[in-house]
Amino acid sequence: MKNSLLLMLFLALLLIIACNKKTKTETEDLYLPEVSNKITVNTYTKVTAVTALVSDSGTKYLLGLAPHASYFYFDRSIANGEAYYKALLHSMERFKPYKFYIQEHTGAVVAIVYAAPQEAEAFYNAWER
Strands (E), 1-129: 43-48, 50-57, 60-65, 71-75, 98-103, 108-114
In sequence order, the 6+-apart residues with CB closer than 8 A to the CB of 126 are none
Q: Which of 4-18, 34-48, 78-92 has the lowest mean pLDDT?
A: 4-18
**pLDDT tens-digit readout, 27-75:** 456 789 888 888 888 999 999 999 999 998 889 999 999 988 889 999 9
Q: Is the pLDDT of residue 116 over 60?
A: yes
